[in-house]
Structure 1
Amino acid sequence: MTLEHRSSSLIRAALIYLIDGTIAAISLVAAISLRVGSLRAGEALEEHRAALPLFVAVALATFAAMRLHRRVWRYSSTDEVFEVVKAATIAVLGYVLLLVVIGGAGWLPRSIPVIQWLVLVVLMGGARMGRRLAAEYLGGRFHPPAAAANPEHAKPAALLFGSSDDVVQLLRQLEGDADAAFRPVGILDETGAHTGARVRGVPVVGRPADLARVVGSLTAKGARPACLIFAGPVERLQRMAMVDIIAQAQSLELEIAYRPGFIGFAPEPGASLDFRFLNVADLLGRPQAVLDSPAVASMIPGRRVLVTGAGGTIGRELVRQIADFAPARLVLLDANEFNLYDVDLEVRESHPQVPCTPVLCSIRQRRQLMQVFAEHRPELVFHAAALKHVPLVEMHPAAGIQTNVLGTRNVADAARSHGVRAMVQVSTDKAVNPVGFMGVTKRLGELYCQALDLASRDDPDAPRFITVRFGNVLGSSGSLIPLFQRQLSRGGPLTVTHPEIERFFMTVHEAVQLVLQSAARGLRDGVRHGRIFVLDMGEPIRVIDIARRMIRLAGLDPEIDVGIDIIGLRPGEKLYEELFDIEEARLPSSIPGVFEAEPRPIPLRILNKAFDALERASEEGDDDACFTIATRLLDRKPAPAGEMAAVVADRPALMAQAG
């Protein structure tokens, strides 16, 4: 240490001792005055002249022993206040004990040490916090730079999430960094217990699970965030349902940032914030598909649009992206009351200019569905309602038939009867060469829409029926990734059904872009009828590799910190997923990153005859009959005797006629 620095330190220490000594003297005078009055206090101190200097000496000795002079007041925090409380306690108790030892405590009322302790804590703590507040005010933290208030140079808005302590620390850093890249507009509290409160002037707007609602509300106020910043160390993202938040943020076109060097304490004063961004490609193992959307802008604006399954993962994202294109009316149809309420609330908050009508109705209810179409006269229909969980549909074939097969027929027939311009059906790669019954039901839905599209190829005014097929969606309810999240948050193990099982993965944002752009493509003149649009999702990814990536992204080691258990394939589960059926021709598409499939169709009259039989069987709750009719329609088993035998046996000849 140089002589100059040493001299500066001595002067600073002397000044602190002078202030603290003065405060110590004031605390004793104030305590006696509050207890016996100012006149009697003067008399008492005059009578016991050693009392005041003795306490100042005890206090300064205590403060020196606790090295209070080495703490920087400008950066005072709760730690400094706690140290002041300890020092005041020791000083007051030491003074009282010293008076008892020397026999000079008889004149001192017993309540004065308590009052003196309170005064000492308030004055010493207040002096330190006052210095910090003055420094922050002069540093501009209470009056942001003019550039931040200039719309042309405004910093991007950001939402913060994480533990309360981490958020407070990040806010302090953002306040002190004039070059900070973001401007906080809200906080997502982990528990939601502080919703409605403010932290350092920034409102607590909800929980991470409320992200979509919060973004919608801020958008309506003209303060839409561009980024979501995690305030803690990236390793703790595992406890925040990381992939679910990534999926939500992706669908809302928000980036997710974190501080890679954050290790739980504040950086040096003046240090710049270093943010990194999470990339969903870290889980996908590939870049996200970038799909152009100009054609969508000419398809949706000014048209009435209906979305089935509007409260589900795909349906909700469809609603968000469709609302961005200003439809004339958006009709939200769902059988789940809460999901319908939630998505309707989100649309009203984020797109108040879009007329929106929620309809509580199941696609199984054919008569009610026809009434909905007759009342609202949608021009575009996006059909996302479905039962999608493989084991559950395997256990309940009749339910799968009623929703995925007959429900699809109801929607398609309503579209054909009420002047719909196009119906777009959301399908799955599990419909390709299906092994499980869920895949069988989705394949039958594909075939029905294809048959309707082919049946109207000579009628230019007939609606188009378009099918879009894709793989597993990251973060969708009940899917693989949320299961891994729950298992990881409990410390594992993660469960995988087979070490070689593979799946195609995509984000919900990619999936819905595919749906919208394929719809726009399918409506163009000259596009052949009966095509199925398939996203090029790259190579399939082994599920066990996804599990290992999630463990590593959580800052842990697979098989060491978190185990992976192999539990065996579930009923109806395939080891490998495919994108094209063995009877389909794979064709290029005019949409980058998208393929088209041209399946061999089943004529409409054959399908209707089989569907009528399925309707009777499902109404009777005959799971065995539903399974037999559906699987044999797809030639999965030899034809039995009876009516369905004729249907299935007649299929090859009829397919040849359909060409």
Structure 2
Amino acid sequence: TTTFQATTIACLIVGFLMWFFREPNLPRSVLPIFWLIVNIAVIASRFLFKGYLYSWDSFINSRKQTLIYGAGNAGVQLVESLKKSTVYAPIAFIDDDKEKQGTILNYLEVFPFDKIDFLIKNKDAKVLLLAVPSVSEKQRTQILKRLTKYPLEVKVLPSLDKIVNGIVNLDAIKHVEVADILGRDSVEPNQSLLERNISGKNILITGAGGSIGSELSRQVMKLSPKKVVLMDNSEFNLYNIHLELASKGFSIEIIPSLCTVTNYHQLKQIIAQNNIQTIYHAAAYKHVPMVEMNIISGTYNNVIGTYNIARLADELEVANMVLVSTDKAVRPTNVMGASKRMSELILQAFSDKSKCCFSMVRFGNVLESAGSVVPLFRNQIKAGGPVTVTHRNITRYFMSIPEAVELVLQSGAMAKGGDVFVLDMGEPIKIIDLAYKMIHLSGLTPIDNENPDGDIRIDFTGLRPGEKLYEELLIGSNVVQSEHPRIMQAKESKLSFDEVSHCVEVIKSARENQDERVVKELLLKYVDGYRSEVA
């Protein structure tokens, strides 16, 4: 209405001036045409400007309010990149340098760390980008651990040596992995130990397509073996690891073998034809509830499979065999753990009569392995919850897969025969704490008594059949430190070869008769500390 009033008054003034100065050359139709054009132009321009203004507001509001941790060169470069981003809207810097705190950098204020809570509540901060690539791994882990108590989606820039040409951009940002917050100081591997049983030798890796087996395959390929035989009973997993390694251009013969460890005759052909000198035995059924529901299949695969490999390593005079074991083999409360302890006992019995150097490496959970709690929690958080934890007080040891495999390779090289190596897993971690950290790092909040309006509910489902509240790594107290600071050597009781042979025959017979009771009774009798029910 105001627009029409203004244009009408303007036309009347122009008309009056035309009449007053008596302009004979201007037709009368000029006035209504002028009125129409002015109205269309003014109204159209107002609509266009309003549309642009609202779309800009919408664009700004749809971007995630983002904090930049680190007011250094990398942080400044990152803010410049974020100005073009349709995802992140930088609102402030966080920095531990007191001289920078309170200053303005790139039109953004620099706040101390303890103001993060204020920025979340008052500026609706949703994301934090860690832009301190020059700090050490230890310092970065400490910063990330401090950040896990805030409901911020945390992303990081890689270290300086991984930033191309020193230029920081959005493509360099990556998600924080659980290993980043549970990480610990790395120990430089002993290269001579890594190469001792691998360099220039023919290697067999069983379970090569699994979480541990695939990483074993990757690391073995870097240590210049002559030939690597990848063995797995999963066609898909074997295809994937073979394709991955073959595409990297190694001048090493890679042979994929689709075989199960319970097939003695095919195993014999593989080991004999390829003149295998070192075996890494990672093939096993490892999912506790699944094995508990399939006692005969799980025990037969784990025990008889290990027996077949050990027997052939002895018969064909393989130089070294390393069994990948588990902390669940210590005073087991489940069939899986008992079957892995029986597998250890088989190697110990063979070591007393064989030229082959048998050893086993025992460690706890590895991050991101198939069936582990980390990918389960991640998927549950993505789905909006609930996150399921079996018990409020349950704890587990965790280690990254690359570190575990590196230590397995070095352990096998230190073996003298019948050795039980135990990896230093650090401190056990409460699973409920891990759940809280993963929820916070996703930019969400858990629903609990203190925060009933949170985003993700945590459900306690109760211990599963055969599940322990906490895991152990040692059966007894007789343990010595090896030449590696992260590897210990345990001295533990063992069975005679005759006893082991008897156990194998009983398990084979029980499988033919599908008699679970016989299998359980055997494990209860021969596996030290095995209890079939959770106390």
- What's the TM-score, normalizing by structure 2? 0.68
Q: Does structure 2 retain, via aligned residues, the 8 Å contact 1:289–1:593?
A: no
* 1:514-558 Cα deviation digits (max 9, x unpaired): 111112222xxxx4x322111111121111111111112112222
How has the CA–CA distance of structure 1 residues 609 and 259 changed in structure 2, closer, same or farther, with 3 Å as cutoff? closer
- d(CA) in 2 for partners of 1:53 and 1:580? 95
Residues 170-569 of structure 1: pairs in structure 2 closer than 5 A? 258=155, 278=176, 280=178, 283-284=181-182, 287-295=184-192, 296-456=194-354, 462-522=355-415, 527=416, 529-558=417-446, 559=448, 560-569=454-463
Q: 7, 32, 42: which is aligned to 1:61?
A: 42
The one-letter amino acid of 2:357's match is R
Q: Does structure 2 retain, via aligned residues, the 8 Å contact 1:453–1:530?
A: yes
CA deviation after TM superposition for structure 1 residue 409, in Å: 0.6
- d(CA) in 1 for partners of 2:387 and 2:351? 44
How has the CA–CA distance of structure 1 residues 637 and 325 changed in structure 2, closer, same or farther, with 3 Å as cutoff? closer
CA deviation after TM superposition for structure 1 residue 52, in Å: 11
SS in 2 for 1:537: coil
Deviates more, 1:561-570 or 1:500-509: 561-570
Higher relative CO (Cα under 8 Å, sequence separation at least 6) belongs to 2
The one-letter amino acid of 2:525's match is R
CA deviation after TM superposition for structure 1 residue 386, in Å: 0.3
- d(CA) in 2 for partners of 1:483 and 1:580? 28
- d(CA) in 2 for partners of 1:433 and 1:611? 21
- d(CA) in 2 for partners of 1:172 and 1:483? 28
* 1:139-191 Cα deviation digits (max 9, x unpaired): xxxxxxxxxxxxxxxxxxxxxxxxxxx9x948999xxxxxxxxxxxxxxxxxx
The one-letter amino acid of 1:544's match is I
Structure 2: runs of 5+ lacking an equivalent = 1-28, 60-81, 90-125, 130-152, 158-166, 449-453
The one-letter amino acid of 2:421's match is F
Q: 553, 578, 584: which is aligned to 2:472?
A: 578
Q: Does structure 2 retain, via aligned residues, the 8 Å contact 1:449–1:466?
A: yes
The one-letter amino acid of 1:383's match is H
- d(CA) in 2 for partners of 1:69 and 1:575? 62
- d(CA) in 2 for partners of 1:257 and 1:493? 21
Deviates more, 1:275-284 or 1:343-352: 275-284
- d(CA) in 2 for partners of 1:588 and 1:617? 40
- d(CA) in 2 for partners of 1:271 and 1:326? 35
TM-align CA RMSD: 3.8
Partner of 2:12: none
Partner of 1:158: none
Q: Does structure 2 retain, via aligned residues, the 8 Å contact 1:383–1:423?
A: yes
Q: Does structure 1 retain, via aligned residues, the 8 Å contact 2:313–2:356?
A: yes
Deviates more, 1:566-575 or 1:345-354: 345-354
CA deviation after TM superposition for structure 1 residue 597, in Å: 0.8
CA deviation after TM superposition for structure 1 residue 509, in Å: 1.1
- d(CA) in 2 for partners of 1:637 and 1:548? 33
- d(CA) in 2 for partners of 1:611 and 1:57? 98
- d(CA) in 2 for partners of 1:316 and 1:395? 26
- Report the identity percentage: 38
How has the CA–CA distance of structure 1 residues 170 and 60 changed in structure 2, closer, same or farther, with 3 Å as cutoff? closer
SS in 1 for 2:328: helix
The one-letter amino acid of 1:589's match is S
How has the CA–CA distance of structure 1 residues 510 and 60 changed in structure 2, closer, same or farther, with 3 Å as cutoff? same
Q: Does structure 1 retain, via aligned residues, the 8 Å contact 2:226–2:252?
A: yes
CA deviation after TM superposition for structure 1 residue 619, in Å: 2.5
Q: Does structure 1 retain, via aligned residues, the 8 Å contact 2:362–2:423?
A: yes
- d(CA) in 2 for partners of 1:298 and 1:51? 97
Q: Does structure 1 retain, via aligned residues, the 8 Å contact 2:154–2:443?
A: no
Q: Which has the larger radius of gyration?
A: 1
SS in 1 for 2:347: helix
Q: Does structure 2 retain, via aligned residues, the 8 Å contact 1:291–1:514?
A: no
CA deviation after TM superposition for structure 1 residue 318, in Å: 0.7
CA deviation after TM superposition for structure 1 residue 281, in Å: 5.0
- d(CA) in 2 for partners of 1:356 and 1:324? 13
Q: Does structure 1 retain, via aligned residues, the 8 Å contact 2:199–2:225?
A: yes
CA deviation after TM superposition for structure 1 residue 452, in Å: 1.8
CA deviation after TM superposition for structure 1 residue 304, in Å: 1.1
CA deviation after TM superposition for structure 1 residue 339, in Å: 0.7
Q: Does structure 2 retain, via aligned residues, the 8 Å contact 1:340–1:360?
A: yes
SS in 2 for 1:569: coil
- d(CA) in 2 for partners of 1:348 and 1:609? 42
Structure 1: runs of 5+ lacking an equivalent = 1-47, 73-78, 84-165, 174-232, 237-255, 261-269, 457-461, 639-659
- d(CA) in 2 for partners of 1:280 and 1:391? 24
How has the CA–CA distance of structure 1 residues 563 and 283 changed in structure 2, closer, same or farther, with 3 Å as cutoff? farther
How has the CA–CA distance of structure 1 residues 60 and 499 changed in structure 2, closer, same or farther, with 3 Å as cutoff? same
- d(CA) in 1 for partners of 2:336 and 2:458? 27
How has the CA–CA distance of structure 1 residues 304 and 57 changed in structure 2, closer, same or farther, with 3 Å as cutoff? farther
The structure that is helix-richer by fraction is 1
* 1:8-57 Cα deviation digits (max 9, x unpaired): xxxxxxxxxxxxxxxxxxxxxxxxxxxxxxxxxxxxxxxx9999999986
How has the CA–CA distance of structure 1 residues 271 and 637 changed in structure 2, closer, same or farther, with 3 Å as cutoff? closer
Q: Does structure 1 retain, via aligned residues, the 8 Å contact 2:389–2:431?
A: yes
- d(CA) in 1 for partners of 2:48 and 2:274? 77
SS in 2 for 1:301: coil
CA deviation after TM superposition for structure 1 residue 436, in Å: 0.8
- d(CA) in 2 for partners of 1:310 and 1:539? 29
Q: Does structure 2 retain, via aligned residues, the 8 Å contact 1:344–1:358?
A: yes
The one-letter amino acid of 2:347's match is C
How has the CA–CA distance of structure 1 residues 592 and 170 changed in structure 2, closer, same or farther, with 3 Å as cutoff? farther
Q: 490, 493, 499: which is aligned to 1:606?
A: 499
CA deviation after TM superposition for structure 1 residue 611, in Å: 1.3
Q: Does structure 1 retain, via aligned residues, the 8 Å contact 2:154–2:442?
A: no
CA deviation after TM superposition for structure 1 residue 344, in Å: 0.7
* 1:77-111 Cα deviation digits (max 9, x unpaired): xx69x99xxxxxxxxxxxxxxxxxxxxxxxxxxxx
Q: Does structure 1 retain, via aligned residues, the 8 Å contact 2:326–2:363?
A: yes
Q: Does structure 2 retain, via aligned residues, the 8 Å contact 1:335–1:362?
A: yes
- d(CA) in 1 for partners of 2:168 and 2:253? 48
How has the CA–CA distance of structure 1 residues 62 and 417 changed in structure 2, closer, same or farther, with 3 Å as cutoff? farther
